[in-house]
């Protein structure tokens, strides 16, 4: 009985029972004309099928990790292309199956012809993500690592690349497995008590179990809470530039992007809609969003632009508040304080006192006090006096911006969750652990507590694939590109 409980609890299943043994083929390079194109062929009949279209030394006879030069020919013996075949023998391949990768000239016609020949020879066109799914089912990587591959391909910055590499190398999986091991130990002690319930033996110290549960819950919550920052590093951190009309927002945007992205004019209200563009700074992708100036207006279009600006602010990771030093400060500071109160409490905010070169007087005591009150809010930096047209001042803004962002979370120093599926599973696991904690505190029976532990194990197991369903696998791999 105990062995059956343990297998069910840890999610140990024979994944190969679900593996459809077929040989698949697909282009592994993007569609289009280029110098080279790669076609991947993998499965139990890979070498047999490859030899049917290959003119050269038999690939079936080649040892693994071998490269051969030869020709692709059709059924009539006519050459389609000259290229290179790389041979990988199971299990020492990405998929864990026999694999041949053809490197050919990057003609779309050649790729279509070769794919047609491979299909005629017995290969099946690969579905999206089927190579990675095959690798997972053959135990070459777990689900979290497979998703790391997709993130690696999609990475657009050094920070996103580091997070994807960390996930691919198993950093996330190792931490999850460590947590699951602790929960398995906890559950095993409780299950053992149930076997000896008639002898009234207690194998598990409730205080120790509670301490272990609280530590595990803290780690799971930390990972779940890191999703917002991880997603921002992956997709680009939203930086909303906001202020009154003609305060210098568009000028600052252009200098930050180093291109004339927004129209700069002395006419107030030029920007009516959100102007967005991205730039990588010190390895971090920033998504700069220039917005309509905040003011009361009767113009319906401008009013819509202002509402869009406010909507962006409510979900922004960073707010760049442009204060025009040549206009009355108190109304601007009041607007900042009001709008800042609607933002996420985890957001970072910078007060940029613009047009400092045109300022003719010092700040009044009341203005200083209002700025001081703003700085007392969480995540508000010390104000910086700038001239938006100045390249030197723009560099200062970028330096401070990156420094404060890294304080909130640095992908070079910690692992951050970037996948919504992971966050949802972690939150579900945290909920089960809260139930475990509550049960221990209330002195519930071991069987009830063990049930909640197994539920937590289930949710954590979904992350790496220790617990899977066909629906879960399909939902993950269908978003992969063909050939991966």
- pLDDT, one tens digit per residue, over 332-353 is 888 888 888 878 878 888 999 9
Reported as a single tens digit per residue, the pLDDT across 414-468 is 889 999 999 999 999 999 999 999 998 888 877 888 889 889 989 988 888 776 6
User: How far apart, in whole angstroms, are the C-alpha atoms of residue 433 and residue 444?
Assistant: 14
Contacts of 4 (CB under 8 A, 6+ apart): none
The structure tokens listed for 435 are: 């139930």
pLDDT of residue 358: 78
Domain 231-408 architecture:
3-Layer(aba) Sandwich (3.40)
Secondary structure element (H or E) that encloses residue 479, with its range: none
Closest CA to 99 of 134, 71, 74, 144: 134
- Is residue 418 within 8 A of residue 231, CB to CB? The reply is yes
Domain at 22-141, CATH homologous superfamily: Probable tRNA modification gtpase trme; domain 1 (3.30.1360.120)
Residue ranges of domains in the chain? 22-141, 166-226+416-464, 231-408
Q: What is the pLDDT of residue 469?
A: 64
Strand duo 284-290 + 275-281: pairing: antiparallel
Per-residue pLDDT, 118: 97
CB of 179 closer than 8 Å to CB of 459: no
Strands of the 284-290 sheet, one edge to the other: 275-281, 284-290, 237-243, 318-324, 348-354, 384-385
Q: In Å, what is the CA distance from 165 to each residue of 156, 208, 280, 352?
A: 13, 36, 18, 36
CA angle 372, 375, 381 (to 5 degrees): 130
Strands 79-88 and 66-73, sheet pairing: antiparallel
Question: What is the number of H-type helices and E-type strands within the chain?
Answer: 17, 13
pTM of the complete model: 0.75
* Residue where the block lists tokens 């198993």: 170
pLDDT of residue 197: 55
278 contacts 287 by C-beta, under 8 angstroms: yes
Q: How far apart are CA 372 and CA 369, in angstroms?
A: 5
Supply angle C-alpha 293, 298, 304, rounded to 5: 55
Q: Which parts of the chain register pLDDT below 70?
A: 1-20, 192-204, 261-273, 293-300, 302, 360, 467-469, 471-472, 475
Q: Which residues of 446-472 are buried (b: 16+ CB within 10 A; e: fewer)?
A: beebbbbbbbbbbbbbbbbbbbbeeee
Q: Would you identify the CATH topology of the domain 166-226+416-464?
A: 1.20.120
DSSP one-letter code for 19: -
Report pLDDT for 360. Answer: 65
């Amino acid at each position: 009985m105990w062995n059956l409980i343990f297998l069910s609890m840890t999610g140990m299943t024979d994944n190969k029972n679900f593996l459809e043994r077929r040989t698949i083929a697909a282009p592994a390079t993007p569609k289009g004309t280029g110098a080279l194109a790669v076609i991947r062929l993998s499965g139990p009949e890979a070498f047999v099928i490859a030899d049917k279209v290959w003119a050269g030394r038999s690939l079936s006879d080649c040892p693994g990790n071998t490269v051969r030069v030869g020709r692709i020919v059709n059924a009539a013996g006519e050459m389609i292309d000259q290229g290179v075949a790389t041979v990988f023998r199971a299990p020492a391949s990405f998929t864990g199956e026999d694999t041949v990768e053809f490197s050919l000239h990057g003609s779309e016609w050649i790729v279509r012809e070769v794919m047609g020949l491979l299909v005629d020879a017995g290969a099946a066109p690969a579905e999206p993500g089927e190579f990675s799914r095959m690798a997972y089912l053959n135990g070459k990587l777990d689900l979290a690592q497979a998703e790391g591959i997709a993130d690696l391909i999609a990475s657009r910055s050094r920070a996103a690349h580091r997070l994807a590499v960390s996930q691919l190398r198993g950093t996330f999986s190792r931490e999850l497995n460590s947590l699951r091991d602790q929960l398995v130990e906890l559950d095993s002690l409780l299950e053992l008590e149930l076997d000896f319930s008639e002898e009234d033996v207690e194998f598990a110290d409730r205080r120790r179990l509670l301490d272990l549960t609280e530590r595990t819950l803290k780690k799971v919550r930390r990972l779940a809470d890191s999703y917002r920052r991880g997603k921002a590093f992956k997709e680009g951190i939203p930086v909303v530039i906001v202020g009154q009309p003609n305060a210098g927002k568009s000028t600052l945007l252009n200098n930050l992007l180093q291109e004339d992205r927004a129209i700069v004019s002395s006419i107030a209200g030029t920007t009516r809609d959100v102007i967005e563009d991205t730039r990588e700074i010190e390895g971090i992708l920033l998504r700069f969003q220039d917005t309509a100036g905040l003011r009361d207006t009767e113009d319906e279009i401008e009013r819509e632009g202002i509402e869009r600006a406010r909507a962006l602010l409510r979900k922004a990771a960073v707010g760049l508040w442009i204060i025009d030093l040549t206009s009355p400060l108190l109304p601007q500071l009041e607007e900042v304080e009001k709008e800042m109160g609607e933002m996420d409490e985890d957001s970072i905010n910078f007060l940029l006192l613009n047009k400092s070169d045109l300022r003719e007087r010092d700040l009044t005591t009341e203005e200083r006090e209002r700025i001081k009150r703003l700085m007392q809010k969480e995540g508000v930096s010390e104000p910086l006096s700038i001239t938006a047209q100045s390249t030197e001042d723009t560099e200062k803004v970028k330096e401070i911006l990156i420094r404060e962002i890294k304080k909130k979370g640095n992908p070079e120093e910690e692992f951050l969750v970037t996948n919504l599926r992971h966050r949802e599973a972690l939150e579900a696991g945290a909920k089960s652990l809260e139930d475990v904690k509550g049960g221990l505190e209330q002195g519930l029976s071991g069987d009830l507590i063990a049930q909640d532990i197994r539920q937590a194990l289930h949710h954590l197991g979904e992350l790496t694939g220790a617990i899977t369903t066909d629906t879960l696998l399909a939902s993950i791999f269908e978003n992969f590109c063909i050939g991966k």
